[in-house]
Amino acid sequence: MTVKTTLLTTALVTLALPAAAQSTHVEVGNLSFDKIAADISAPATPERVTASNEQTFAANALKRTETKQPAPALSFASGQSASGSQDTVSRNANSDFNTGRDWTGFYVGGQIGFANVDTNISSDDDDFIGGIFVGYDYDLGNVVIGGGLDYDFTDADVAGGVADLENIFRLRARAGYKIGSGLLYGTAGYAIADTDTLGSDDGYFIGAGYEHFVSQNFTIGGEVLYHEFNSFDSTGVDVEATTVQIRGTFRF
């Protein structure tokens, strides 16, 4: 009886083991795990709970890694897109800054300032000067070219009071570079100066100025000109005049 009981018990245990414990192979991405699946009715031991938690943690970590992998490429692409947009905006801003307003058209205005008149035979003299001007400009994009006529009146002494400079007439050409709503230009041309006792004489002038739009059709600017009249009216008196003026211009 004892031998039969022992054999029966051994047989039952042998049959029960395959059902109670089965070898299962699990692969998650590039990772693989071997686990032992215990019988459903078997109690959860600490070892089983730890193994299950480790498997869950590894699977979640792998999912997070796979999800985050495209992020650097997306960030790089976004950076390129943002950089390209900034470059485009910068180029457009520079283009708008340089081309600014359209300067093509006729204009008329007035100017006021002071004149310094010097000769080769006496000290210089400063006096008020002012006048009017008309002209025409043509806008080439970043560059503006044009021409005009000026008439200024003054009462500056010439040759220590020997004569008074009464007026200056100018025929000018000018060219400038646009800076936003402004124009930085150089100018030169032909000038005629008239006095009360020495007669009149012609010469040349050269200078520079800056003009800026303050409204749709009005500009304000400043200009410095140097004039030279050699042997004024054949008297042997060389006359030099420097003028500094503020100009207001209405543009059509």
Q: Note the pLDDT of residue 247.
A: 98
Q: Is the pLDDT confidence value at 80 over 70?
A: no
Q: Is the pLDDT confidence value at 216 over 60?
A: yes
- Whole-angstrom distance, CA of residue 186 vs CA of residue 144: 11
For residue 204, which of 156, 149, 241 has the smallest C-alpha distance?
A: 241
Q: What type of residue is 238?
A: D
pLDDT, tens digit, 9 for 90 and up, residues 7-36 = 445 544 444 444 444 444 545 455 444 544
Q: Note the pLDDT of residue 112.
A: 98
Q: What type of residue is 82?
A: A
Average pLDDT over residues 73-82: 47
Q: Note the pLDDT of residue 165.
A: 94
159 or 216: whose pLDDT is higher? 216
Average pLDDT over residues 54-80: 52
CA angle 100/102/103 to nearest 5° reads 115
Question: Where along the chain do its domains lie?
Answer: 2-68, 105-251
Average pLDDT over residues 41-58: 52
Q: Note the pLDDT of residue 100.
A: 72
Average pLDDT over residues 73-99: 51
Q: What type of residue is 16?
A: A
Q: Is the pLDDT confidence value at 98 over 60?
A: no
- Whole-angstrom distance, CA of residue 71 vs CA of residue 63: 14
pLDDT, tens digit, 9 for 90 and up, residues 129-174 = 999 999 999 999 999 999 999 999 999 999 888 899 999 999 999 9
Q: Note the pLDDT of residue 49.
A: 44
124 or 140: whose pLDDT is higher? 140
Task: Write out the CATH class of domain 105-251.
Answer: mainly beta
Q: Note the pLDDT of residue 203.
A: 97
Q: Is the pLDDT confidence value at 117 over 90?
A: yes
Q: Note the pLDDT of residue 162.
A: 86
Q: Note the pLDDT of residue 196.
A: 92
Average pLDDT over residues 178-185: 97
pTM of the model: 0.63
What's the pLDDT band for 221 if we cut at 50, 70, 90? Answer: very high
Q: Note the pLDDT of residue 243.
A: 98
Long-range contacts of residues 21-30, Cβ cutoff 8 Å, at least 24 apart? 26/55, 28/55, 28/58, 28/59, 28/62, 29/62, 29/66, 30/62
Q: What type of residue is 28?
A: V
